[in-house]
A and B are shown apart, each in its own frame.
Chain A
Amino acid sequence: MKWRAVAVNTYREAIRDKILYNLLIFALILIGGSILLANLTLGEQAKIIMDFGLASINLFGILMAIFLGVGLVSKEIEKKTLYTVLSKPIGRTEFLLGKYAGLLLTLAVNTVIMGIGLYLTLMFNQFSWGLSIWDVEPRLVGAIGMIYLELALITAVALLFSTLTTTTLAAIFTLSIYVMGHISGELMKMGEKLDGLAAILVKGIYYILPNLSNFDIKGQAAHGVAIEPSYFFYTILYALIYCTLLMGTASFIFKRRDLK
């Protein structure tokens, strides 16, 4: 299982990267600092902390996914560290899988740390109001899980661009896809108002772009709104299929690339 060796190595590289630590520490400071913001409101402290905390986890998670993801392949090509790896008996697809798995592991660990940070902040808030520290919204776990799925999808996008172009361009393209993925609903509305080829083009772009708003249940979690289990099932399935297509495309491109 050579992809596991690549995954462990990728994880090791990520956790020895100072960028990751800086982002994580900043995220934890923001999450913990949301208590100060919450104190400006009356009676809605927990909701403010959850909103702010989940948004921080999402933002910093995306920054980690993009910063680390775009360098997964392109940095190895630029630094020529790929030569001694791909000259070993490991296929390029297996190598990509290992890189992807390694970054997913890194993001999982960081998401869990940030999630724990959010729960501790909420528990402290409960404690400061003389309430039970265990009376914290359990639906946050689902919202954090959805955030992680979004990170997994964006990482696959970053990896795809990483096989195609330089680190800088891959970052720009990935960030663009992230933004467009969140406004794809608006694109669909625009497409419905157009006719002919323009409508087909816009609708085509809508279906190709990842619909990232599917993964955003932060509002529902913060306000204690229940979500059907089937919603989670279909969103997870969507993420799995989309990631598989992205990885398949990345593998197709990478296998044909000359490593000059």
Chain B
Amino acid sequence: MGVIMTGQLTKVYDLGLGQAPFKALEGLDLTVQEGEIFGFLGPNGAGKTTTIKILMGLIHPTSGMATLLGCPINNIQTRSKIGFLPESSHFYEYLTASEILTFYGRLFDIPKETIKERTLALLKQVGLESAAHLQLRKFSKGMLQRIGIAQALINDPELIILDEPMSGLDPIGRKEMRELILNLKTQGKTVFFSSHITHDIEMICDRVGILVGGRLLRIGGLSELLPDGKETLEDYFIRIVQGQ
């Protein structure tokens, strides 16, 4: 059984009188296997964030099914094994880095001592040790993205879902993020992340799903999608999108 499974997952938005409903997601069938890094690729507005928000219980699907770690997505307790980083991280800016990780840790019912140890370790891992007592209102975009990763890992999750994790990062930051994701894989964790940047996906993903206009057009390993190696993932992606 996949770590993430969806069956004909659909989301239609009713735009009101006189307007046709908008299909943000249409019949998504997706399986992510344990221990893999899965790249969810698509242009802006393809439905990647919609999919992720449905999986995390922030949006209700119109129809279809989805499971995380074998349990239906409305099972709240499953989230104790999942880490999530939303697109464009927004946090309580009046809290310090240390306080926000402690807050999130308490939402997992993690013991105080464990939260303290993990907070110190995570702040060190993401390079924010010196900013532990700085309020988040004073953080740069890159620093906020780092604290976002830290909060996604506070519960030592089995599955990590990241929505556009490279967003707002400079080249060094993106390299560090890719290394972090690869490191999570070596720990036996599953990483599912969305992006519209083919280069990042091509460098680290085991399998890729291409979403365009709410529909999953292609899914498979890079060797399957690019069998002869003559085409880059970017060329392939553009060809698929333009074909639509």
Binding site for B on A (CB under 8 A): 2, 4-6, 9, 12-13, 16-17, 79-91, 256, 258-260
Contacts and interface: CB of A to CB of B under 8 A. Distances in A.
Contacts of B57: 86-87
Given A13-B94, A79-B90, A87-B86, A5 B106 contact: yes
Given A5-B107, A87-B84, A88-B108, A259 B94 contact: no
B92 interface: yes
A146 B71 CA distance: 47
Given A89-B79, A89-B80, A80 B60 contact: no
A97 to B, nearest CB: 14
22 contacts: A2-B109, A5-B106, A9-B103, A13-B92, A17-B94, A80-B86, A80-B88, A82-B58, A83-B56, A83-B58, A83-B84, A83-B86, A84-B85, A84-B86, A84-B90, A85-B104, A86-B57, A87-B79, A88-B79, A88-B107, A88-B108, A259-B58
B182 interface: no
A51 B230 CA distance: 85
B236 interface: no
B90 A81 contact: yes
Interface string B55-94: 0111110000000000000001111101011101111101
Given A13-B92, A84-B84, A89 B53 contact: no
A88 B56 CA distance: 9
A15 to B, nearest CB: 10
Interface residues of B, number: 31
Contacts of B59: 258-260
B90 A80 contact: yes
B58 to A, nearest CB: 4
Q: Which 9 A-B pairs have the closest CB atoms?
A: A5-B106, A80-B90, A88-B107, A83-B86, A87-B84, A89-B79, A87-B56, A259-B58, A89-B80
Given A84-B86, A259-B53, A259-B58, A90 B92 contact: no
Contacts of A259: 53, 58-59
A79 B109 CA distance: 25
Contacts of A89: 76-80, 107-109
Contact of A84 (B82, B99, B104): B104
B169 interface: no
* Residue of A81, A87, A259 with most chain B CB atoms under a 10 A cut-off: A87
A258 B85 CA distance: 18
A175 B157 CA distance: 44
A12 B95 contact: yes
A16 B99 CA distance: 14
A256 B107 contact: no
Contacts of A2: 106-107, 109
Contacts of B6: none
B195 interface: no
A76 B57 CA distance: 16
Nearest to A80: B90
A13 B90 CA distance: 15
Given A5-B103, A5-B107, A86 B58 contact: yes
Interface string B105-141: 0111100000000000000000000000000000000
B60 A258 contact: yes
Nearest to A17: B94
B51 interface: no
Nearest to B88: A80
A149 B206 CA distance: 58
Contacts of A16: 94
Interface string B138-164: 000000000010010000000000000
A166 to B, nearest CB: 17
A86 B80 CA distance: 12
